Amino acid sequence: MILPGPGAAHDYTIAVDSSLQRLSVVARFSGPVDVIRADSSYARRFLDRATDCSGRRILKTSGRRLRVPQGGVHCLKYEVDLRAAATVSRMQTLLDPANVVVSPTLWMWRPPLQGDDEIRVRFELPAGINVSVPWQRIDAASNRYSFGASPRSGDAIAVFGDFASATERVAGANLRIVVLRSGNAIEISPLIDWVRATAENVALAYGRFPNPAARVVLIPVTDNPWGGDSAIPFGRVVRDGGETIELLINEHHPIDEYYDEWTPTHEFSHLLLPYLKREQRWIAEGFATYYQNVLLARAGRYSAEQAWEKLVAGLERGRDSAPNLSPNEAAADGIRNARMKIYWSGVALALMADAELRRRSDGAESLDSVLGRLQQCCLPSDHSWTGRELFAKLDTLVAEPLFLDLYRQYADTPGFPDARPLLEQLGVRSSRQSVRLSNDAPLAWIRRDLVNVPADRDTAASAPQ
């Protein structure tokens, strides 16, 4: 393999036509490369006539790779059938034709990136056509972006066409907010306010948003493609060239109902941790689920009783799920077979860690403060972490180790982390019908602190009345 020098920078110029049918690419590499590939096996279906920049050498595909002549190439030209590529995702069927949503994995043919390597992209767009990509904008006045190595947690979307966008300064972060077109007129300002409030909810963890430059894509729908009648029927975080939060928003619901949905806070809370490998998905989902409930209580969307009712009910569901599997086994086995164990095992560990940190320090230390230090040192991260790697890192951020002991005790042990003794000490008493909070319990003060906003964290925006 021919590898460019360290910190290689490859320059791409990408043009689309006014009908959003064709995408044309010229890629100039920092040196000769002999490995050029796409991240999706479908990409070859939509590729038209890939050549070197002289046009003399036609490069054929072999799976996800281009067959590059010996000695490599310095420059690559190709075209992509953009509309056809967009049909790979059923998301396109939900959208107004003025928008084309298609993952860069289907049209970005590139060398592998290592270390400080980067790809710089300049878009040439017709009048009235915008672009939104997961990568970082080089400057605000142009359509120039860059990206380097990333965890590839999924296929981020790129959007071409006529859509609304705004950059909002929220809790120390510049959030790039994109609102796609629908068949109906959409008032943008209330949606921006709602995204701001959700980001400020997450900032109640340690006073700032965990990613200083994340992208939020709002996709209006009139029907829930997964069934049900939720105001926010779907959300996900994708870490592919950057961190993007994608949220489907149901237009049949008034904006006030968006504030009561837990899905956005859950998805935003994923950014409190780096991307974890599949076998440790239970940690990622668990910590996000824990914070979704704690933060919505701090923001005033849940009462303390409601937050603890939701936590206790979820822990019970997790305990009943796949009792023969350990959390690591459940995550590896797949979410369909052990969904509740995957989502709630990590909640139990987050609660145990948070309570113990507060107990040891008389409230001076918490999971919030430890994750704040993690963000300062290590986020956003350009690689996938194991659970053991994450917990070992967290132990370096506290005075007395805690996290790896919890991991060793529960990660590979069949069953469920039993938080019931801790809940009793916190004064959370449950029956089949309800949860009762007792102030006579030895750790009742910790229970109260978990769902209260410290004085220096009061950055939440209130929902519209």
- Quick one: tokens of 265? 């806070």
pLDDT (0 to 100) of residue 460: 39
Q: What is the pTM of this model?
A: 0.93
Mean model confidence pLDDT for the chain: 91
**Which residue in 271, 325, 322, 265 sits closest to 289, CA to CA?**
265
The model's pLDDT over 408-465, given as tens digits with 9 standing for 90+, comes to 999 999 999 999 999 999 999 987 678 999 999 999 999 999 998 665 554 433 333 2
Name residue, tokens 């989502």: 343
Q: Which amino acid is at 328?
A: N
The model's pLDDT over 370-399, given as tens digits with 9 standing for 90+, comes to 999 999 999 999 999 999 999 999 999 999
136-137 and 144-147 as β-strands: parallel, antiparallel, unpaired?
antiparallel
pLDDT (0 to 100) of residue 226: 60
Say how many C-beta atoms besides its own lie within 10 A of residue 277's C-beta: 18
The model's pLDDT over 358-374, given as tens digits with 9 standing for 90+, comes to 999 999 999 999 999 99
Q: If pLDDT is split at 50, 70 and 90, which confidence band does 6 have?
A: low
**Domains in the chain, please, with CATH?**
1-96+103-130+139-148 (2.60.40), 163-272 (1.10.390.10), 273-457 (1.10.390.10)
Q: If pLDDT is split at 50, 70 and 90, which confidence band does 225 have?
A: low
Share of the chain above pLDDT 90, in %: 80
305 versus 433: which is more confidently predicted?
Answer: 305
Rounded Cα distance, 155 and 173, in Å = 23
- Quick one: tokens of 413? 């042990």
Rounded Cα distance, 338 and 340, in Å = 6
Helix ranges restricted to H, 65-125: 82-86
> What are the b/e assignments for 360-377, b being 16+ CB within 10 Å?
eeeeebbbbbbbbebbee
Distance of CA 174 to the CA centre of its chain: 16
Q: If pLDDT is split at 50, 70 and 90, which confidence band does 166 have?
A: very high
pLDDT (0 to 100) of residue 3: 55
Rounded Cα distance, 329 and 333, in Å = 6
pLDDT (0 to 100) of residue 58: 87
Cα dist from 124 to 25, 103, 286, 386, whole Å: 10, 18, 42, 40
Rounded Cα distance, 237 and 70, in Å = 40
Q: Which amino acid is at 86?
A: A
CB-based contacts of 129: which residues, under 8 Å, 6+ apart? Answer: 16, 18, 20, 160, 161, 162
Rounded Cα distance, 350 and 353, in Å = 5
pLDDT (0 to 100) of residue 454: 66
The model's pLDDT over 98-129, given as tens digits with 9 standing for 90+, comes to 889 999 999 999 999 988 899 999 999 999 99
pLDDT (0 to 100) of residue 461: 36
- Quick one: tokens of 65? 């790779």
147 in Cβ contact with 242 (< 8 Å): yes
Burial class (CB in 10 A: 0-12, 13-18, 19+), 324: exposed
Cα dist from 360 to 22, 108, 420, whole Å: 61, 50, 20
Q: Which amino acid is at 358?
A: R
Per-residue pLDDT at 271 exceeds 90: yes
pLDDT (0 to 100) of residue 4: 57
What average pLDDT does range 2-19 have in this prediction? 84
Q: If pLDDT is split at 50, 70 and 90, which confidence band does 200 have?
A: very high
Q: Evaluate the CA torsion angle 300, 304, 361, 355 in order and state its sign.
A: negative
pLDDT (0 to 100) of residue 401: 97
Burial class (CB in 10 A: 0-12, 13-18, 19+), 323: exposed
pLDDT (0 to 100) of residue 142: 83
What average pLDDT does range 207-215 have in this prediction? 97
Rounded Cα distance, 158 and 350, in Å = 34
pLDDT (0 to 100) of residue 2: 60
